[in-house]
Amino acid sequence: MSKTVGIVAEYNPFHKGHLYQTEQLRSMGFDRIAVAMSGSCVQRGEISLLSKFCRAKYAVDCGVSLVCEVPFPYSSFSAEGFAKSGVHILKNLGVDAVSFGSESGNLPLLCDIADYLLTEDFEAALKCFIAEGLSFAQAREKAVLNRFSLSREIVSASNDILALEYIKECRKLCWDVELIPVKRRGAAYNDISAKDGFASASGIRQRVSEYRFEQAAEFVPDEIKQNFINRLEQGDYFVADAAFEKTVMYALKKLKAEDFAKIPDCNTELSHAFENAASFSANMEQLFSNLPTKQYTRARLKRIMLFALMGIDDSLPQLPPFIRILAMDKNGEEIVKKASDISSVPVSHSYRILQDKNDDCRRVIEKESFATDLQSMFFKFPSDSRSDYTTKLYKK
């Protein structure tokens, strides 16, 4: 009997480490791999390097069965919000297991920590440490380390942080799904250097930003290597250049503290800090120097800035109200058929179909479509807008 495993990913871009994960899963007997992938924006508060259609195609060309979209703004929420949205999509697809990258690879420990993070004891410890002046991330880390005897890496490593959130969401849904960590190989999540023939997505993007296209392509699978180089040489990738920076600064300068306060993840302190910092800053470097970066992570600040640019407030539904198909092979078609019968939200490859389902679908589609148009406008060589409506579904 065919077994389907689900992954929440960004593939920004798809690289050899991602291929390694899919190969490991196939060796475990999973012949179908379904992925909930970030749309045009990613979790660290940035626009993705390549279009979601290109990234989805690369994944399917490298053995993934189905790629669905985690639309903006859900794709750029905190680790908890991002995981919640991705797991929601995978559950509605009816997968048999959920897999994730992990620095530790220690599933029993990850499950124990995730269970602790759902307790009142953890909430009490968290509040106590935040009251002492620690940031949320620091307080969370200290609460876990006080409870468990372990190295701090497991609560600070990027993949393990997301792994804990995936496990938590499965627990919250009472979803008794098989959990499969795949131990990360090669360079660390944010490491720019390569290791053992693997480079992180951050390292690949760094090489692209320095126009070292051939070096960047060394770390993507052979199946997509030449197409990857061609796209880069054609300028078919996003660049956060001076024009984009000015666009962001313009958007921020228009807002008052009460406007920032409506943005997800922006509290009262941050809303006033953003108004003040934006008014006194001429560029992004000055802006960050004028923001409370010791108390808040740069990723959180960047997410707030991206939400401000895109006009995101807290009025959207808590979870993606649809499942949008980006690419698939024949096995993926079988997953879609099953999802169409069991999903609590509409499933389609077409925004034209989905936007007519209900008002929530329409409002979220407007945001993701706008993000896609903004991305294409700031490609190295700008491309056509409205690609969310003109790009055909990729079937392998």
Is pLDDT larger for residue 393 or for residue 184? 393
pLDDT score recorded for residue 194: 67
The pLDDT value recorded for residue 44 is: 92
Which helix (H) or strand (E) is 394 found in, with range?
strand 394-395
Q: pLDDT digits over 247-270, tens only?
A: 999 999 999 999 999 999 999 999
The whole-number pLDDT of residue 253 equals 97
pLDDT in tens, 277-287: 999 999 999 99
Please provide the average confidence, as pLDDT, over all residues in the chain.
Answer: 94
pLDDT per position as a tens digit, 162-177: 999 999 999 999 999 9
pLDDT at 188 over 60: no
Give mean pLDDT, residues 338-351.
97
pLDDT, one tens digit per residue, over 287-339 is 999 999 888 889 999 999 999 999 999 899 999 999 999 999 999 999 999 99
Please list, in sequence order, all residues whose beta carbon lies within 8 angstroms of the beta carbon of residue 366, skipping any fewer than 6 positions away.
none
Closest CA to 196 of 329, 17, 353, 364: 17
Buried/exposed code over 108-128 (b: 16+ C-beta within 10 A; e: otherwise): eebbebbebbeeeebeebbee
C-alpha span between 90 and 366 (Å, rounded): 23
Closest CA to 37 of 96, 90, 101: 90
Q: Does this model's pTM top 0.75?
A: yes
Which pLDDT does position 193 carry in this prediction?
59
Backbone φ, ψ for residue 150 (5° rounding):
-160, 170
Confidence class for position 97, pLDDT limits 50, 70, 90: very high
| pLDDT at site 293 | 83
